Amino acid sequence: MAIFNCKGPIDAYCSGCNSHSIFTRYLAAKAVHTAADWLMMDRFDAAFTCGRNPSHRMIFTTKVDNVKRTMQKIGQYPSLAELSMYDVRKYGGVLAKETFQELKRAIGLAAHGVGIGSFVYLRRIFENLVEEAHQAAKSEAAKLDTGADWDDDTYQTARMTDKIQMLRRHLPDFLVENRVMYGILSKGIHELSEKECLAAFPAVKVGIEIILDAKIEDMERRKKLEGARKSIQALASANKA
């Protein structure tokens, strides 16, 4: 109900600007609706316009039932899936193309009320992240001078929580500390109801986002280090000359 009395400002993603923007309520001629006004209508729209461009709109539609005296939100533009997609775009750079598609699919499904299906994709993403770390651990051990010790047979037969423990040097701390997450995802697919999966979705999604945030940070730190190393080398050789 809050949205129908709200005049703004609302801070939200604008699909027109393709970035966050500030929205305020678009008020038509007869702007302020009372409960009595609503009951005279069978449908109610609340529109908000973007502060940068008034043709960018956010619209929420509600069905009013005059007999039962109830209101139900029946639609919104842009869709919830589109609104929630914006924040995951930054992960495109640290995920393989296919895995990134799966993350978007998981969010889209959850936004459409498909709980178990979204868990299937989240679990695959989780498994992919672990497999990436596994490959890194293996190739590190293959380089003789690192002295890293790796027992791949033990790894292959280990349970997921033990695998994560073995890979702890190659995985974000958050994932290692919260390795029970995988159990929740698997349980969701086999035992939890649609409703339970949807209720658990935000927490699990944030968990995966934290893991991906750590990957972004790591990538940026490496880039910075590499840049700094090159500049210092350039300075050093300039001084020599």
Q: Are 231 and 149 in contact (CB under 8 A)?
A: no
Interacting span for Zn ion (CB under 5 A) from 17-25, 127-135, 159-167, 213-221: 17-25
Q: Does 129 bind Zn ion (CB under 5 A)?
A: no
Interacting span for Zn ion (CB under 5 A) from 12-20, 73-81, 105-113, 214-222: 12-20
User: What b/e sequence results for 208-219 when a residue is b if at least 16 CB atoms lie within 10 Å of its CB, and e otherwise?
Assistant: bbebbbbbeeee
**Least distance between Zn ion and beta carbon 53 (Å):** 5
Q: Does 16 bind Zn ion (CB under 5 A)?
A: yes
Q: Which is nearer to Zn ion, 49 or 62 (CB)?
A: 49
* Residue 106 neighbours by CB distance under 10 Å: 25
**Least distance between Zn ion and beta carbon 14 (Å):** 3
Q: Which is nearer to Zn ion, 17 or 27 (CB)?
A: 17
**Residue of the chain from 7, 20, 43, 52 that contacts Zn ion (CB under 5 A):** 52
Judged on CB neighbours under 10 Å (0-12, 13-18, 19+), 185 is: buried
Q: Does 58 bind Zn ion (CB under 5 A)?
A: no
Nearest to 104 by CA among 193, 205, 198, 204: 205
Distances (CA, A) of 49 to 1, 10, 13, 28: 19, 10, 12, 12
**Least distance between Zn ion and beta carbon 25 (Å):** 15
82 to 121, contacts with Zn ion by CB under 5 A?
Answer: none
Q: Which is nearer to Zn ion, 24 or 186 (CB)?
A: 24
> H-helix or E-strand containing 109?
helix 97-111
In this structure, what is the dihedral angle of CA atoms 121, 127, 130, 134, given to the nearest 10 degrees?
Answer: -140
Radius of gyration of the chain (CA): 25
Q: How long a stretch of residues is the chain?
A: 241
Q: Which is nearer to Zn ion, 50 or 200 (CB)?
A: 50
Q: Does 50 bind Zn ion (CB under 5 A)?
A: yes
Interacting span for Zn ion (CB under 5 A) from 23-31, 33-41, 47-55, 132-140: 47-55
Q: Does 57 bind Zn ion (CB under 5 A)?
A: no
**Quick one: DSSP state of residue 171?**
S
Q: Which is nearer to Zn ion, 56 or 215 (CB)?
A: 56
**Least distance between Zn ion and beta carbon 178 (Å):** 37
Binding site for Zn ion (CB under 5 A): 14, 16-17, 21, 50, 52-53, 56
